[in-house]
Amino acid sequence: MLKLYCAPVTISTAVVCLLNEGAEWEPIRVDVRGGEQSRPEYLRINPKGRVPVLVTPEGLLTETGAVLEYIAETALPDFMPTDAFGKARVREVMFYLASTMHVNHAHLRRASRWADDPAAQEAMSAKVPETMRASAAYLEGVVEGPFLFGDRPTIADFYLYTPVYWLEGDKVDVSDFPKLAAFKAAMEGRASVKRAWADGFYG
């Protein structure tokens, strides 16, 4: 059975929601707020000190996009297109989320990764509403509606839901972006996402 190292309100919740679509899995909760991810025992599991980590029969996997793709390929194929262009578009969104939007968000509470000077950290945190708004504006132009690529969600939708959920805490009003707001509502209508909320992974 798959196991997932995960924590509420982190990007690992994207994987929680996808797994809830029908995979056999169990969570291993990591106390990220308490700093468990930086302790030697956890660093032996993931030297990057981050969640998610997926435990598979073949070994450990990190990086949300890679983890989501592995789950689709091994257990939930309906969430990945089969044609080359469709797959590339899914990866295009996932790479953007990993390289840009997630990094924008991380500047709010993790500015110490990039600067030691408290004033520089404060300046980086203060910029987050602007950079997250720019990411939301970009994605507003990508979402076809209600999901990214029309009527059916892909793994990229499960990835996107969590950064869209982060917008409110990053002082971006999702209602300024009607397609993203409808996307969020459509995801929240799914039993998998409702279950993640009920299990305390959001809120």
Ligand X SMILES: N[C@@H](CCC(=O)N[C@@H](CS)C(=O)NCC(=O)O)C(=O)O
Among 2, 4, 11, 148, binds ligand X (CB under 6 A): 11
- Choice between 91 and 179, CB closer to ligand X: 91
Backbone conformation region of residue 180, classed left if phi is above 0, alpha if psi is from -120 to 50, else beta: alpha
Of 32-40, 139-147, 150-158, 174-182, the segment contacting ligand X by CB under 6 A is 32-40
- Choice between 39 and 171, CB closer to ligand X: 39
Task: Give the E-state strand segments of the chain in sequence order.
Answer: 2-6, 25-29, 53-56, 59-62
CA distances from 166 to 38, 45, 176, 198 (A): 23, 26, 15, 18
Shortest approach of ligand X to residue 151 CB, angstroms? 27
Report the site for ligand X in 101-160 (rule: CB under 6 A).
110
Among 2, 50, 128, 155, binds ligand X (CB under 6 A): 50
| Distance, CA of 15 to CA of 6 (rounded, Å) | 9
Closest CA to 187 of 171, 163, 74, 10: 163
10 binds ligand X (CB under 6 A): yes
Q: Which residues of the chain form contacts with ligand X (CB under 6 A)? A: 10-11, 32, 37-38, 49-52, 63-64, 98, 110
